[in-house]
Amino acid sequence: MTLVYPSVGFGIGMLVGLTGVGGGSLMTPLLVLLFGIHPSVAVGT
C-alpha cells in the first residue's frame, strides 16, 4: 500500500480538526482531482 492515501487522510484530518470545516468538503475534491476517482463515487464515500 502506498503512503499517499494515509498521508492525505492525515492531512485532511488535521485541517478538519484545526478549522472545524466538514471533512467531505475537503476530501471530495482531492479524491476527484488528485486520485482520479469518478465524482459520483467520491461523493458517495
Q: Give the separation between CA 26 and CA 17, rounded to whole angstroms.
A: 12
pLDDT in tens, 1-45: 689 889 989 999 999 999 988 888 889 999 999 999 999 999 987
The pLDDT, as a whole number, for residue 37 is 93
Give residue for cell 471533512. Answer: 23
The pLDDT, as a whole number, for residue 23 is 85
The pLDDT, as a whole number, for residue 1 is 60
Judge if pTM exceeds 0.85: no
Give residue for cell 498521508. Answer: 7
The pLDDT, as a whole number, for residue 2 is 86
